[in-house]
Amino acid sequence: MLQIDRLEVAYGALTVLRDISLTVNNGEIVTVIGANGAGKSTLLKSISGLLPPSGGTIQFDGKEIARTPPHQIVKLGVSQVPEGRQLFAELSVLDNLELGAFSRGGNAAENAKELAHVYDLFPILRERSVQMAGTLSGGEQQMLAIGRALMARPKLLLLDEPSLGLAPMVVRSIFEIIMQLKASDLAILLVEQNARAALSMADRAYVLETGRVVSQGLGKDLLADPQVQRSYLGESIAH
C-alpha cells in the first residue's frame, strides 16, 4: 500500500533522513521507533506532504506522491494525526470533526454516518461536541485528533507520538483504540517513543537512529533485541 524507497529529507543545510526504505501493507500496523531526534516525525511529515523530500520516492497505492501537496494526499486516503495534536483550538469539537471530512466534499448523509462512527469510538467527544477544542483535556484532544483524521475515511492512518505528554492511564486507552482501529482493517503507521508498547502492538517495526534505519523486523522479535535498547541508551550499556 505504502512504499518508500531511498527517501532523503533535509531542513535547509541539515539532512535529517538518509536512505530510508519502508513499506506498509494492507491492514498492517507498522511502527517506527527511535530516540529523540532520530527523524521519526520528519518521516511522517514527508509522507503526508508537509515536508517534500529532497530525494527518493514515496508511492501510495502505486501512485507517486513525493511531490503531491498535503491536501491532495488526504484525498488519496492518507490521514495524519500530527504530533502535538494540532487541533483547531478555537473551533468546536463538532467543527473540528466536520472539517476532518473536508476532503470528501459536502455529502451530509455520508458525513453524518462517519460522525456517528467516530462518536461510537469516542463517546466522550459526543458529550463535548459544542465545546471549543482548546478546552479539552490532553487525552480528549488526542481522541479528537484521531477522530478528525478518521473523518476523512483514510486507508492509511499516520499516528505521530499519540502518547506524548499524556498520563499513563490515558496512554493505555489510546493504545486500546489503536488496536480497535487495526481490527477494522485500517493500515496504520505509528511513530512512538514508548518503544515497548509500540512494538507489542505492531506487526512489523523499524528502528530509526540519527536518520537511518538501523534494524527492522517483526514487532515481537525487536522487543527482545538488545540492539533496540542500545539505540536508545548508547553503546556501552551494561546488562
* C-beta of 56 vs 160, nearer to another protein: 160
* C-beta of 25 vs 229, nearer to another protein: 229
Q: Are 174 and 15 in contact (CB under 8 A)?
A: no
Beta bridge partners of 9: 17
Amino acid found at 19: D
By DSSP bridging, strand 55-60 and strand 2-11 are antiparallel
Least distance CB 232 / another protein (angstroms): 5
| Binding stretches for another protein (CB under 8 A) | 13-14, 16, 29, 35-37, 48-50, 69-71, 74-75, 79-80, 82, 86-91, 95, 98-100, 102-104, 106, 137-138, 148-149, 151-152, 161, 164-165, 168, 172, 175-176, 179, 192-198, 200-203, 210, 218-220, 228-229, 232-238
* C-beta of 126 vs 212, nearer to another protein: 212
Least distance CB 88 / another protein (angstroms): 5
Least distance CB 235 / another protein (angstroms): 6
Percentages helix, strand, coil for the chain (3-state, rounded to 5) are 40, 25, 30
* C-beta of 5 vs 157, nearer to another protein: 157
- What the block records as the C-alpha cell of 18 is 538518509
* C-beta of 5 vs 129, nearer to another protein: 129
Residues 6+ apart with CB under 8 A from 50: 70, 80
First vs last C-alpha separation in the chain: 39
